[in-house]
Amino acid sequence: MTLINLSGIHSETYRELTDGDLPAAGESVLVPLSQLQDNGAAIFELTSSVGVIVDTETAYSDLEEFVGQVSFVDIRFPVFGDGRGFSLAVRLRKDFGFKGEIRASGHVLPDQALFLLRAGFDSVDAAEERREAFEAALKRFGAFYQTDMIGHGKSVAHLRHSASGNDTTTKEAG
C-alpha cells in the first residue's frame, strides 16, 4: 500500500502499535482508539507524534478528548460506500477545529478522491496501481456547489457573487 496525498499537506508513515506495545521516544505511531482510551497518558508521555485509528462506527464524541493531542486521524473504511467516515472527517474539522492530517484507509475508490478531499481528508492509503487514477480524479472538477469542509474554498454560489463585492465567504467555518 502507498500513501497518496490529496491536500498537499505533509503526509508520513507511522508505525502501527500492536496490542500493549509502547512507542520509542519521539517515534511516530499509529494507535487504535481503544488503546488510546486505555493507555493514552503513557503513550503521549513518550511521543507527541501520535495518530489514532478509528473505524466508521466510531461516535465523533469519543474523539473529543484526544483531538488536542493527536497529530493525525486514520479513518478506516470497511466499504467505500460507508458515508459515516465522511461525516466523521467533517466533524473533526467543523466541531473540533482539528488541523492535523486526516487519512482514509481501507476500501476507498479513486473516483472518491474529491469527495474525500472536500470532506476534510488529506491522504489516502491505497494500492500503488491506483495512484494515477486518484491523481486524475483530483483534477476532475474545478468548482463545486458547496463550500468544502475545511472552511476554505468557495462554493459556486459564493464565487458567482464575489466579483460584485458581495462575498460572504470570509466568515470562518469554525
- Residue 65 makes CB contacts below 8 A (sequence gap 6+) with none
- On whether the CB atoms of residues 52 and 33 are closer than 8 A, the answer is yes
Q: Does 90 bind another protein (CB under 8 A)?
A: yes
Q: Does 156 bind another protein (CB under 8 A)?
A: yes
* Rounded Cα distance, 30 and 13, in Å: 9
Q: Does 158 bind another protein (CB under 8 A)?
A: yes
Stretch that binds another protein, among 17-25, 34-42, 68-76, 158-166 (CB under 8 A): 158-166
Q: Which of 87, 100, 125, 135 is in the footprint of another protein by CB under 8 A?
A: 87
Locate cell 464565487: which residue?
Answer: 159
Q: Which of 13, 34, 42, 81 is in the footprint of another protein by CB under 8 A?
A: 81
- For another protein, give the closer residue by CB, 31 or 149: 149
Phi/psi region, residue 76 (left: phi>0; alpha: psi -120 to 50; beta: rest), is beta
Strands (E), the chain: 2-5, 15-16, 29-32, 50-55, 72-77, 101-106, 123-126
- For another protein, give the closer residue by CB, 38 or 95: 95
Q: Does 33 bind another protein (CB under 8 A)?
A: no
Q: Does 159 bind another protein (CB under 8 A)?
A: yes
Q: Does 111 bind another protein (CB under 8 A)?
A: yes
Q: Measured from the CB of residue 71, what is the shortest distance to another protein in angstroms?
A: 23
Footprint of another protein on 45-74 (CB under 8 A): 59-60
User: Counting beta carbons within 10 angstroms of the beta carbon of residue 7, is it exposed (0 to 12), middle (13 to 18) or buried (19 or more)?
Assistant: middle
Buried b / exposed e over 19-32, threshold 16 CB at 10 Å, is: eeeebeeeebbbbb
- Residue 86 makes CB contacts below 8 A (sequence gap 6+) with 115, 116, 119
Footprint of another protein on 132-151 (CB under 8 A): 133, 136-137, 140-149, 151
Interface positions with another protein (CB under 8 A): 59-60, 80-84, 86-88, 90, 94-95, 109, 111-112, 114-119, 133, 136-137, 140-149, 151, 155-161, 164, 166-169, 171, 173-174
